[in-house]
Structure 1
């Protein structure tokens, strides 16, 4: 008998607290009856309504660093308290939550103040918010946001970009609606990552702009994944600069030296144009890679001038004597007399006459060597010197360029 009584009570309890369709309809009707969507939900109208905003980043779809546009999908969550939307669950079959269209309740309208497209408003009228019997209102929307970003590619491809996406609350000042951040950073629980950029960090802040209007600022700090740029941009620059110097290894009689130099010069100029088209057309600041390419262009032009002048030396008639300064320069660098050494009269038992005779023969041999120095030999020596010099300069300039970019970034 006692068991039957307990069973009846439990069944009756389930029936009482099972929300029906009519309960939901009655609740909706009672909540919206006489509700004015244009009035802030503040008991004291001189007090502000606290609205908390949180961003849940899903993915960074694209970052166009040429146009300065950051595209990402995200969830936007807004919560606030509306005392007019409170109810007793016992009067509505135990119903504790209710989804209502945004057009039926007061809504803080957020506006994207850094838009890259025409769509800058959020919270469409057909969207819905979730109400709690305590009066808490939660609105969550998934959105594709395209925001402008000030791009700084000074240290490309070792650059770090800081993009600010801001939302302003229109129609209300800080004394009427108070924007609040739930956390100091964007929620990355759902973040999927990006193939071109690493998300280093995020930050959320609230600022008051002119007229007392509040703005919520979401900052994305992005570091470029530079492996692709190193292989396809930096290494070709090194190779072009180094290959430039190999013109001095070509045989002058081939007649290809000037053509090789011009081809390399044009290749650097074309490559510079390609790089410029893939980076923002900005002068503040100018990418350091442009200065590097300009140095390489000047370096290539200098090599071409040196090649032409050296070809003139190579083509001079052998009957034209080589100046003594060039002869001395040639003999010093080729070490023609490196094996000679001073000999004292007492050394090795040689007499003074024998030493004098040896000096005369040695001096005579040096005169013969000087007579053998021709313009072609001088030109060949200069080719070797310039080859080593320009290869070393190319490698040093590239190393300095990389070091400056890494330290600066």
Structure 2
């Protein structure tokens, strides 16, 4: 008897456990008496509804597995000043409820039901970068299958913080993140997983985003870090969303008009500097460019210093420099035609070398204010010395007037002055050509630099 007592104790223990497990398993099976062709009696799920305040698990040491996916259906706004991204998401959550189970064959072949989301336990998944309250519409439903798998689709308008880099505007690309995590449940109570692969999320989002808005979706990647807060460890899924701005609007409204104005300013160098029309034309063009920048200021980012702002400042500076060059050349021409100063020897040699290098070595040195070299017949808008001599009184007339020597000296002085005027005019033209080439070189190098930076 003493040896049989332990055996009897073991038998009764096994019988009790088996009865408890059998009763427990039956309690998880929903009675199909409430199922018919006209619908489902809510009383059949009343036991499940009463448990919605608790996490649906049989053993609280086992964490609930929640699979997450989302669909990016629209990019509504990107605020560079506030560093915010406003988008519209469809968040999909899938988890298992062990208290929901029925046999479809016994329940008029019903495999899936829709139940009000307010009557079931829902995981508290949120987006950590969200800067706004949850604007989920009320009255949503969930899909529940016969095995207790619940699928919850939640539309969300998300205003999330995003580190925006607008230096390459309007050819910029931005990388924003959506980090899904739980408020309350640590890794001991909730584990996050993927309901879809990343490439499926990317393809679905690209197919849905069909609007020709300002932004386009490039790709989505993911990471699964853990967040440690004090002694609590939380599971996370982080999605990296890469978007790119469509630059067509800004190229047409900003870059093309600016390029046209700079091109017109460059072509204005071909206007004759002697006519006096170049400077007023450049001033008008400069005022028009400032008006253009004021009108297009709303299209530029309100914060930061994008590369396009540097480009506009560079174009404006080039137009100001070209105006200063025109003023300088106009001053030289005015000085040359009114009171030309004596030309220094080094400047005269440089002018001869630039105009005719072969004759530079054979030209005799000047003495005092005597000027040799280029004849005024090669210069525009200058009277020839022969014409000036013809207008002077002849030697016979000079003798009759009683001043032959003074008349000859005056004639030589006029010829010498015309030679000097011609050299200063030619020097002004040479400086105009040199500064124009430097202007073109600086303009081309600046544009190439900006384009290379935009392409990188």
* TM-score normalised to structure 1 length: 0.76
Structure 2 portions without partners, runs of 5+: 1-31, 365-369, 376-415
Cα 1:319–1:139 change in 2 (3 A) is: closer
Larger Rg computed on CA atoms? 2
Q: How does 1:257-336 map to 2 (within 5 A)?
A: 257-273=278-294, 277-283=298-304, 286-316=305-335, 317-335=338-356
Structure 1 residue 46, shift from structure 2 partner: 2.0
3-state SS of 2:191 partner: strand
User: Contact conserved, 1:265 with 1:301, CA < 8 A, in 2?
Assistant: yes
Q: State the match for 1:42 in structure 2.
A: 57
- The match for 1:110 among 125, 128, 137 is 125
Residues matched between the structures, number: 366
Q: How does 1:178-193 map to 2 (within 5 A)?
A: 178-182=191-195, 183-185=197-199, 186-189=201-204, 190-193=207-210
User: Contact conserved, 1:56 with 1:74, CA < 8 A, in 2?
Assistant: yes
Cα 1:240–1:395 change in 2 (3 A) is: farther
Within the alignment, does 1:250 sit opposite 2:271 as a pair?
yes
Within the alignment, does 1:201 sit opposite 2:214 as a pair?
no
- The match for 1:382 among 402, 409, 431 is 431
Q: State the match for 2:40 in structure 1.
A: 24
Q: State the match for 1:165 in structure 2.
A: 178
Q: Whose RCO is larger (CA < 8 A, sep 6+)?
A: 1
Structure 1 residue 20, shift from structure 2 partner: 1.6
Cα 1:67–1:217 change in 2 (3 A) is: same
- The match for 2:134 among 120, 133, 140 is 120
Cα 1:269–1:216 change in 2 (3 A) is: farther
Q: Which deviations, in whole Å up to 9, do the C-alpha atoms of 1:26-70 show, x marking residues without a partner?
A: xx3132226321211122212210100111233444545565444
3-state SS of 1:92 partner: coil
Structure 1 residue 110, shift from structure 2 partner: 2.8
User: Contact conserved, 2:371 with 2:420, CA < 8 A, in 1?
Assistant: no
User: Contact conserved, 1:61 with 1:194, CA < 8 A, in 2?
Assistant: no
Cα 1:107–1:19 change in 2 (3 A) is: same
Once the two structures are overlaid, the 10-residue window that deviates more, 244-253 or 380-389, is: 244-253
- The match for 2:91 among 76, 81, 88 is 76
Structure 1 residue 274, shift from structure 2 partner: 5.4
Structure 1 residue 173, shift from structure 2 partner: 2.1
Quick one: distance in 1 between partners of 2:68 and 2:124? 12
Structure 1 consecutive aligned stretches of length 4 or more whose deviation exceeds 6 Å: 339-342
* TM-score normalised to structure 2 length: 0.69
